[in-house]
Amino acid sequence: METAAMMAALDRQRIETPSWGYGNSGTRFKTFPAPGAARDVWEKIADAAEVHRLTGIAPSVALHIPWDRCEDWAALRRFAAERGIAIGAINPNVFQDDAYRLGSLAHPDEAVRERAVAHLLECVTIMAQTGSRDLSLWFADGTNYAGQDDLRARRRRMRAGLARVAAALAPGQRLLIEYKFFEPAFYFTDLFDWGAALAHAQALGPQAQVLVDLGHHPQGANIEAIVAFLLAEGKLGGFHFNARRYADDDLIVGSTNPLELFAIYAELVAAEADPETAACAGAVAYMIDQSFNIEPKIEGMIASVLNCQEAYAKALLVDRAALAAAQAAGDVLGAHRILVDAFRTDVRPLLEAWRRAHNLPPDPLAAHRSGAYLADITRTRPRASAASGYPG
């Protein structure tokens, strides 16, 4: 791709950051409170604005309800807009109440299912008040033992609940269905893979799409192939970017598997250029789903956003015509080399030039480390509560 076209494509890239990445978080062993960690949704939005100010490509923040519940959504929306931030996806939480021990929408007891639907519908009203487009759904529903519950009945209940939520969406709003093959249930998870999510999304209609979280697959799953398939079906709605080595580790995206992140972006760039998939690819929500347990949080978030930018820039460099010719000729290693050539290119000088052209700091991480914002929050938020963020 020509440099001018690349610069224009980089201008269009967007990454949404998660409110829960800015608060204290931990593992089930320990939450270490971090100096300066955001303590409420206002501070989380302020931190998200700092990430956007330095990177230029992170202009929205996803909220998790009830962690981010607030008295006055209009005021929160204004507060965010004043800082150049829009409210992104709304993430309901139907996994932390005592009632949800056996699930939420798939629970055997109708009263619990109703409670879950009521919360999801409340989140749809929050979308209207915050200007959010996407309702991002993840369910901890599942079972721990063979025979514990009727699997077909659970599927039916899940479908019925999802259908009620889909019916409540306004035009232009979407429902994203996130799958995960294990955890917290260990025998069976109701939305265990992309096929289950896709089947529900197809039955629910055009406003329902699938969300791919990079940490939610078994070891060795080919995520870029899943991405290509969902794009071709017109059903890829969004991403939760992060990195994993062992389980759902929520590490900095691209830190353990840069080739995988590049290959995913390469599929997206190809789909953007293909008239059959361009509309779906153009509407994908690129979101980060990470929590930083021992890393400085804003620094970790900036690094994550930059890793996505780097992977995207490399994907733009793929010589598509040469690749198509090598593939058509059955040139196995020639085609592979063309793809990997792009991955091996050092795009850092180009991205530095892009930042300079937009009056952004050439090194956003260094700018953050030495900047006034970090000094200020470290001084003025001295006693962040260990319970203010993702509980881990």
Site for ligand PSV in 150-189 (CB under 6 A): 178, 180
- Residue 286 in the binding site for ligand PSV (CB under 6 A): no
Among residues 45 and 140, whose Cβ is nearest to ligand PSV? 140
Partners of 136 in the beta sheet? 176
CB of 177: closest distance to ligand PSV in angstroms?
Answer: 11
Nearest 10 degrees: Cα torsion 346, 347, 352, 354: 160
The minimum distance between CB 214 and Mn ion, in angstroms, equals 9
CA 273 centroid distance within chain: 23
Mask 121-150, x = binds ligand PSV (CB under 6 A)?
Answer: -----------------x------------
- The set of residues, in sequence order, having a beta carbon less than 8 Å from that of 391 and lying 6+ positions away, is 25, 26, 31, 96
Q: Which stretch binds Mn ion (CB under 5 A): 112-120, 237-245, 321-329, 381-389?
A: 237-245
Least spacing, CB of residue 242 vs ligand PSV, in Å? 8
Least CB distance from residue 255 to ligand PSV, whole Å? Answer: 17
Q: How far apart are CA 111 and CA 2, in angstroms?
A: 58
Residues 327-356 that bind ligand PSV (CB under 6 A): none
Task: Give the 3-state secondary structure of residue 37.
Answer: coil
Taking the least distance from each CB to ligand PSV, the nearer of 39 and 180 is 180
Task: Convert residues 220-259 into a mask of x (bound to ligand PSV by CB under 6 A) and - (unbound).
Answer: --------------------x-------x-----------
Stretch 85-124: interaction string toward ligand PSV, x if CB under 6 A: ------x---------------------------------
DSSP 196-225: HHHHHHHHH-TTEEEEEETTSS-TT--HHH
Q: Which is nearer to Mn ion, 58 or 384 (by Cβ)? A: 58
Q: Which of 289, 304, 360, 390 binds Mn ion (CB under 5 A)?
A: 289
Could you give the CA distance from residue 215 to residue 308 in angstroms, rounded to a whole number? 16
Amino acid letter at 171? P
Q: How far is the CB of 178 from ligand PSV (least distance, A)?
A: 5
What 3 state SS string does 236-251 have? EEEEEECECCCCCCCE
Residue 213 is a binding residue for Mn ion (CB under 5 A)? yes
* Residue 91 contact partner, candidates Mn ion, ligand PSV, none, CB within 5 to 8 A by sort of partner: ligand PSV
Is residue 289 a contact partner of residue 253, using CB atoms and an 8 Å limit?
A: no
**C-alpha span between 15 and 59 (Å, rounded):** 7
- Give, in order, the Cα–Cα distances in Å from 56 to each of 9, 169, 354: 13, 31, 10
Please name every residue paired with 286 in a beta bridge, in sequence order, or none if there are none: 239
Q: Exposed e or buried b for every residue in 139-149, given b needs 16+ CB within 10 A?
A: bbbbbeeeeeb
Number of residues that bind ligand PSV (CB under 6 A): 10
Question: Which one of Mn ion, ligand PSV, none is in contact with 390 (Cβ closer than 5 to 8 A by kind)?
Answer: ligand PSV
- How much of the chain is helix, strand and coil, in % rounded to 5? 50, 10, 40
Our finding on whether 390 is near ligand PSV (CB under 6 A) is yes
Three-state DSSP at 117 gives helix
Q: Is 240 in the site for Mn ion (CB under 5 A)?
A: yes
| Binding-site partner at residue 20 among ligand PSV, Mn ion, none, CB < 5 to 8 Å by type | ligand PSV
Indicate which single residue of 15, 17, 20, 303 sits in contact with ligand PSV (rule: CB under 6 A): 20
Q: How many residues bind Mn ion (CB under 5 A)?
A: 3
In the complex, least distance from residue 40 CB atom to ligand PSV, rounded to whole angstroms: 17
Asked if 16 touches Mn ion (CB under 5 A), the answer is no
Q: What's the token pair of residue 10?
A: 């980089």
Q: How many residues does the chain have?
A: 392
Q: Of 7, 10, 16, 2, whose CA–CA distance to 211 is shortest?
A: 16
Residues that bind Mn ion (CB under 5 A): 213, 240, 289
Residues that bind ligand PSV (CB under 6 A): 20, 91, 138, 178, 180, 213, 240, 248, 289, 390
